[in-house]
Structure 1
Amino acid sequence: MSKHPLWSALLLLLLVSVSGAAFGAAPPVAVLTVDDAIGPATADYLVRGLDKAAQEQAQLVVIRMDTPGGLDSSMRAIIKAILASPVPVATFVTPGGARAASAGTYILYASHVAAMSPGTNLGAATPVQLGGVPGAPDKPAGDKPAKPDSKADDSNEATLTRKQVNDAAAYIRGLAQLRGRNAEWAERAVREAVSLPAEEALKQRVIDRVASDLPALLSQLDGQTLKTARGEVVLHTAGAPLVEHAPDWRARLLAVITNPSVALILMMIGIYGLIFEFANPGSAIGGVVGGICLILGLYALQLLPVSYAGMALVLLGLALMAAEAFMPSFGALGLGGVVAFVVGAVILIDTEVPGFGIPLPLIVGLALASAALIIGVVGVALRARRDAPVSGDAGLVGSLAAVAAVQADDPLGGWVQLQGERWQVRSSAPLWPGQRVRVVAREGLRLAVEAADNPAHTGE
């Protein structure tokens, strides 16, 4: 070996690479975390996280989950990304006490590996935005509608509810059949809103694994073969390096602004900022801040399940309050705007999913703040109406001034300095320089005046 140093070096490099591949050089495991309601921000974070894991050539993506559920549109975007992912996905409901309710159950069923920690649960997958309480008893057959049309309304509502429940049941049953899991229980989770703890879920083939923590789960998955969109993948997860992908600034910003309460506040700030800018042209800060906040608020609302009637009422209320600021109607427009805003904000979000409602105290607080602003505007308008005019023709009439000069050829005419301007004046009595006069009328570019006092003239 000493006679051929080049061959010795190559052989040593080969041995090191082989030993490295065999001992500890396994591809990494990407870890994503969901610990809140599933919404647009969660969908954006998970979809981009799966893409990044594929770029990093991760062998597995683990989604640590603890969620009460979320929006149907966001859930379906996540499931589409999981089904199309070339990297297998393991959804792990952890730690103890966590849950994968509603939308979380669908995501668990769609994953290549479904795992839970002891003390966790899943289920209750009935779409709550349908209205009513899952599992509530039906109306007794003897109950008759109070109005002739209510029977048809109830029938239409029941038909819509049945269609949506059937769609959700078929969706989760298809996911269960794709992953070889218990499809009957999955359908019960939708139709009857049932739930299961981790151990029972494993016995009934709802999930694949029960593990105390992430290292234990990776040890159980070591050597398992999973089928992905790219083909079969053999896992080597025992001792594999973990790569945590925390939400970046974009996901955090999206999570903040897609909170319905924050979106509503942003809209309010935007409207009042624009009102301030229009009332004080050139200030810039009101227009800049108001425009940014208004655009962010509208962008967030278009990502959420918004009621168009509620949105129209909110915009109408803001428009009426803005109109009150520019053409005071002594409260009529403003109070109408407050009422429209409150009603619109109450029905703005068209879902009962936890975490996506607007608290009533916040709505009342914003309405009271708007009412206080309107009262202030009306008060200023009333005070301005009582004050005497200080500009224009009305401000000129009654003003006092001293005669600056008298026409040489006409002692009834002269000039005065008034409101920063030099005016020609005309009087019914002779004028003299320094005399105090009062304006009685305006005649085009000339003012009619009279003596303000009658002291004895001590002229020549």
Structure 2
Amino acid sequence: MRRSAGLFTNILLKILFLIIFLTALVGQPLTGLAEADADKAVVVARYEGAVVPITAKYIERVILHAEDIGAQACVIQLSTPGGLYTATQELVSYIVNAEVPVIVYVSPSGGWAGSAGTFITVSAHISAMAPGSRIGAAHPVSIGQSGEAQDVPSEKITEDAAAWARSLAQMRGKNADAVEQAVLESKSYSDSEALKLNIIDLRAENLNDLLEQVHGRTVTLAGGTTVKLETKNAPLVEVPMNFIEDTLLTLSNPDLAYILMTIGMAGLMVEIYNPGLIFPGVVGAISLLLGLYSLGTLDAYWGGVLLIILAFGLFITEVFVASHGLLGAGGVISFLTGSLLLFSGGPPGIGINISLIVTTTIIFAALMALLITAVVRGQKRRVTTGAEALIGREAAARTDLTPAGFVFAEGELWNAVSTEGDIKKGEKVVITGIDGLRLKVQRYK
């Protein structure tokens, strides 16, 4: 046993070491560039999806890598429906204070710089869009104390976002009025409209077209340093997300966070119903912690989380308290309400698929109905312990029953009396009743 445990531990440590090694390897992009060519390189990052905390950390790493190798520019190919306001502020801060020119390119065709993407695009030293892409609808969304989106978003939040958008636009020499309207009036602009209104610097068919168009442009960095770009035919350095970033981004998916928390609660319920199974409890605990982490990074409404926790508390209590389904019904209502409130009124791109909520609720409602039915049947079933448990069982006559005698039942010798005449030794009988310590039997048919 010890040898097996040691072997398992050794294998586990090797796997862990391999993961750490590969993570470190992936985290450091292989440029394949000579040191002399590094200052001519253009670092490229691609991101599609909602803006969450790990997005900002990824972009920070990309910019720092561009600075470390002395690249002449950093291109962020972006397509996002929006995201968290705090994560957007952090990401924009990295761009504004970068020591290397940052170019935000809304792509591919059909891409979107919605909400948070508007601030990110406008903050870049050079902003570009692919044909068919769009930008705008940057009106902030606030969540009221009830957990529901307010009909009129907080005036302070809106004014702050508008002032920030105007400030970024003015800093980059863009049309501050048009950018501000994207915040105050949720205006959206096509790529051609954005170029015409001076919201962006240029339109580009693809990355090569972008690098050709920005070639020769002069960019002023935060410290006042000016940089002339020579990006035509420049070597590209791709910096994808590493293993850890990709994992954290996956965990930042609202649907996955919801599923993990649900699995976690269900696993703990199974462990409580059947103590000692271990596996459901371990899986449940891990899933619950991962789910709560994900919900925390996504700024979920904690009133919704508490309602879901209350629901599972009611589900568990239903088994131990004879409420005839009232606690279970309350749990289903609490679960559904909490699920709907989790991201109610949240920013674009952050929300749970309504079909997932409905499906999960129906499954739990069905399981609770089955559980309650089983509990009620158990409560109605007549108690059959001790001697009464023998009724209906088979036995063997150890002596002739004329009509009294002895039978062997459930490993014991019992005094018995036949209720239908004499029964010979060795014949099978069925126990039909009990009179004190004497069994009533009849011939087995």
Work out whether the TM-score is over 0.5.
Answer: yes
Structure 2 gaps of 5+ residues are 1-33, 145-149, 399-406, 416-425
Matched, 1:297 2:291: yes
Spell out, residue by residue over 1:260-299, the C-alpha distance to the aligned partner (whole angstroms, 9 max, x if none).
2221221111111111122222222101111111111111
Q: For 2:98, which of 77, 81, 85 is the aligned residue?
A: 85
Matched, 1:100 2:94: no
Contact 1:26 1:236 in 2 (8 A): no
Per the normalisation by structure 1, the TM-score is 0.72
Q: Which residue of 1 aligns with 2:8?
A: none
Q: For 2:437, which of 434, 449, 455 is the aligned residue?
A: 449
Q: Which residue of 2 aligns with 1:60?
A: 73
Spell out, residue by residue over 1:229-275, the C-alpha distance to the aligned partner (whole angstroms, 9 max, x if none).
46444433222221222233333333333222221221111111111
Provide the identity percentage: 38
Contact 1:325 1:374 in 2 (8 A): no
Residue identity opposite 2:372 in structure 1: V
Q: Which residue of 2 aligns with 1:3?
A: none
Q: Which whole-Å CA distance do the structure 1 matches of 2:176 and 2:314 have between them?
A: 53
Contact 1:117 1:198 in 2 (8 A): yes
Query: By how many angstroms is 1:21 displaced?
Result: 8.2
Query: By how many angstroms is 1:300 displaced?
Result: 0.8
SS of the residue corresponding to residue 349 of structure 2 reads coil
Q: Which residue of 1 aligns with 2:202?
A: 209
SS of the residue corresponding to residue 127 of structure 2 reads strand
Aligned 1:169-208 pairs, distance under 5 A: 169-208=162-201
Q: CA 1:417–1:293 in structure 2 vs 1: closer, same or farther (change >3 Å)? A: farther
Q: Which whole-Å CA distance do the structure 2 matches of 1:306 and 1:73 have between them?
A: 13
Aligned 1:387-402 pairs, distance under 5 A: 387-391=381-385
Q: CA 1:326–1:453 in structure 2 vs 1: closer, same or farther (change >3 Å)? A: closer
Q: CA 1:324–1:239 in structure 2 vs 1: closer, same or farther (change >3 Å)? A: same
Q: Which moved more, 1:313-322 or 1:35-44?
A: 35-44
Q: CA 1:305–1:395 in structure 2 vs 1: closer, same or farther (change >3 Å)? A: same
Spell out, residue by residue over 1:297-351, the C-alpha distance to the aligned partner (whole angstroms, 9 max, x if none).
1111111232233222222112111222344533111111001111121122143
Spell out, residue by residue over 1:44-75, the C-alpha distance to the aligned partner (whole angstroms, 9 max, x if none).
43233333333444332111112222221221
Residue identity opposite 1:297 in structure 2: G
Residue identity opposite 1:127 in structure 2: P
Q: Which whole-Å CA distance do the structure 2 matches of 1:195 and 1:227 have between them?
A: 28
SS of the residue corresponding to residue 252 of structure 1 reads helix
Q: Which whole-Å CA distance do the structure 1 matches of 2:126 and 2:367 have between them?
A: 56
Q: Which residue of 1 aligns with 2:50?
A: 37
Matched, 1:228 2:221: yes
Q: CA 1:203–1:386 in structure 2 vs 1: closer, same or farther (change >3 Å)? A: closer
Residue identity opposite 1:43 in structure 2: A
SS of the residue corresponding to residue 31 of structure 1 reads strand
SS of the residue corresponding to residue 205 of structure 1 reads coil
Q: Which whole-Å CA distance do the structure 1 matches of 2:317 and 2:355 have between them?
A: 25
Structure whose alpha-carbon radius of gyration is higher: 1
Q: Which residue of 2 aligns with 1:70?
A: 83
Aligned 1:378-417 pairs, distance under 5 A: 378-391=372-385
Residue identity opposite 2:74 in structure 1: V
Contact 2:261 2:288 in 1 (8 A): yes
Q: For 1:324, which of 318, 330, 345 is the aligned residue?
A: 318
Per the normalisation by structure 2, the TM-score is 0.74
SS of the residue corresponding to residue 61 of structure 1 reads strand
Contact 2:38 2:69 in 1 (8 A): no
Matched, 1:119 2:132: yes
Residue identity opposite 1:105 in structure 2: T
Residue identity opposite 2:375 in structure 1: A
Q: Which residue of 1 aligns with 2:154?
A: 161
Q: Which moved more, 1:110-119 or 1:51-60?
A: 51-60
Residue identity opposite 2:358 in structure 1: V
Contact 2:78 2:106 in 1 (8 A): yes
Alignment root-mean-square deviation, CA? 3.7
Query: By how many angstroms is 1:390 displaced?
Result: 4.9
Q: CA 1:206–1:397 in structure 2 vs 1: closer, same or farther (change >3 Å)? A: same
Q: Which whole-Å CA distance do the structure 2 matches of 1:126 and 1:177 have between them?
A: 19
**Aligned length, in residue pairs:** 387
Q: CA 1:393–1:90 in structure 2 vs 1: closer, same or farther (change >3 Å)? A: farther
Residue identity opposite 2:94 in structure 1: A
Q: Which whole-Å CA distance do the structure 2 matches of 1:399 and 1:196 have between them?
A: 82
Contact 1:26 1:241 in 2 (8 A): no
Q: Which whole-Å CA distance do the structure 2 matches of 1:243 and 1:110 have between them?
A: 22
Spell out, residue by residue over 1:412-441, the C-alpha distance to the aligned partner (whole angstroms, 9 max, x if none).
xxxx99988x99x99xxxxxxx9x999989
SS of the residue corresponding to residue 259 of structure 2 reads helix
